[in-house]
Amino acid sequence: MPTPLVGVIGKTNVGKSTFFAAATELSVEIENRPFVTIEPNIGIAYVRKRCPHVELGLPKCDPVNSLCIRGWRFIPVKLMDVAGLIKGAHRGRGLGNKFLDDLRKADVLLHVVDMSGSTDEDGNPVKPGTHDPLEDILAIEDEVNEWFFQILWNGWDRFSRGLDTMPSDKAIEAIAKRLSGLSIRKEHVIEAIKLAGLEGRKPGSWGREGVREFTRRLREVAKPIVIVANKMDVPVAEDNYRRVREELKDRVIVPTSALSELILRRAAKSGYVDYVPGDPEFKVLEPGRLSKKQARALELIAEFMKKWGGTGVQQALNTAVFDVLRMIVVYPVEDANKLTDRNGRVLPDAHLLPEGSTALDLAAVVHTELAKGFLYAINVRDKRRVGASYVLKDGDIIKIVSATARH
Ligand SMILES: Nc1nc2c(ncn2[C@@H]2O[C@H](COP(=O)(O)OP(=O)(O)OP(=O)(O)O)[C@@H](O)[C@H]2O)c(=O)[nH]1
Ligand SMILES: [Mg+2]
């Protein structure tokens, strides 16, 4: 998985675009903005980690592929704003299949939910507290699950008869291949078969319910969902939030106010406030410049953040990438003593890699040539030599020694 793609999904009018705008708005420019113009609804958001330059007592770093703001390293991920989803989308209702098509490449989904209950099932505004967000959570999950199911169930009879003639590892490969358009890999299929309790059973005997359970598990594994409990700044939202948490204990839920984050990032960009995304607080820079209304709005945001520990937008991104996708951050350097690249830049690059990646995997991410001639690596923190199969740890700083190093 190179740069993870995070899909923002949800009903209409819940705050998806607000979340997207907030998460992709940054007051500092990045030297190497990688994918600025891939598609109009894809932007760059960032996950946030403590930068190792702080812990190592270095005065600063010189980030190239990422950013460092006051000791916090911001590492880019792709964020996709998807059109609002409504019930029946898998049958083509609303923007239906277009919506689902956009999601094919996503690695993880942020499901934005209007926790204030101020939008009905089709997204029309209603009095806060009158619609139950729990219904939305289940309805959207169902839509995505159903979409997976339909893709596999279509022609299953014939396909599964073919699978039954193959050894099981070939059958697993064939299933993964059939679903590769959904970015499904062999590991996902193996895991989902296990979770669905279908191990050792011929696919031809799974039946409709077996396939349904398998695709439900496959969706959980290949497109896990983080619930963004949005509009938490509306007073009635808190009751809903507590109830939903109680009802859905196995879900990952992050309370947020995307609108507060958007206001703060824009205020920071205009120099009204000092705010590092993901911080639990901010500072008003020149109170005299604010109108009464602006000052009051910021006061309310400050109260919200005090209560919840921040606006939740950065927390949702970090949860999706670090807790759910289980990615780690690794820093390759060329000079193991100075921690620099060959241009003397300190800790220039931060790479996101799946947990379990090795030193050789890192080499391949940095440069294919580097991997080809891989000799050994140095774990910079303890200056020890490690081999190609060394399993990287979060925060590792690694020098790769290769016979085919670039000169
Ligand atoms: N109170 C409050 N309102 C919010 C928040 N986030 C978004 N909103 C409001 O909700 C409304 C819908 O926001 P959008 O971001 O356009 O919602 P969307 O999900 O992208 O809607 P569609 O694109 O139509 O599906 C706007 O009026 C936002 O200002 C929030 O955190 N708190
Ligand atoms: Mg929108």
CB atoms within 10 A of CB 272: 21
Contact between 35 and 42 under an 8 Å Cβ cutoff? The reply is yes
Per-residue pLDDT of the chain (407 residues; tens, 9 = 90+): 679 999 999 998 999 999 999 999 875 554 444 444 446 688 999 999 999 999 999 999 999 999 999 999 999 999 999 877 767 766 766 555 666 778 899 999 999 999 999 999 888 899 999 999 999 999 999 999 998 999 999 999 999 999 999 999 999 999 999 998 899 999 999 999 999 999 999 999 999 999 999 999 999 999 999 999 999 999 999 999 999 999 999 999 999 999 999 999 999 999 999 999 999 999 999 889 999 999 999 999 999 999 999 999 999 999 999 999 999 999 999 999 999 999 999 999 999 999 999 999 999 999 989 999 999 999 999 999 999 999 999 999 999 999 976 55
| 312 close to ligand 1 (CB < 6 Angstrom) | no
Topology of the domain comprising 329-402: Ubiquitin-like (UB roll) (3.10.20)
Q: Specify which residues 398 forms β-bridges with.
A: 332, 379
Pocket of ligand 1 contains residue 10 by CB under 6 Å: yes
Neighbours of 236 (CB within 10 A): 16
In the chain, residues under CATH classification 3.40.50.300 are 5-143+225-322
Ligand 1, from 109, 143, 254, 259: best to mutate by most atoms within 8 Å of Cβ? 259
Q: Ligand 1: which atom is nearest the Cα of residue 230?
A: 31
pTM for this prediction:
0.94
- How close is the Cα of 318 to the center of ligand 2, in Å? 22
CATH topology of domain 5-143+225-322: Rossmann fold (3.40.50)
Atom number, ligand 1, closest to the C-alpha of residue 20: 15
* Residue from 14, 79, 230, 241 whose mutation best tests the ligand 1 pocket (most atoms within 8 A of CB): 14
CA of 95 to the centre of ligand 2 (A): 13
Q: Is the CB of 234 under 6 A from ligand 1?
A: yes
Where in the chain is CATH 3.10.20.30? 329-402
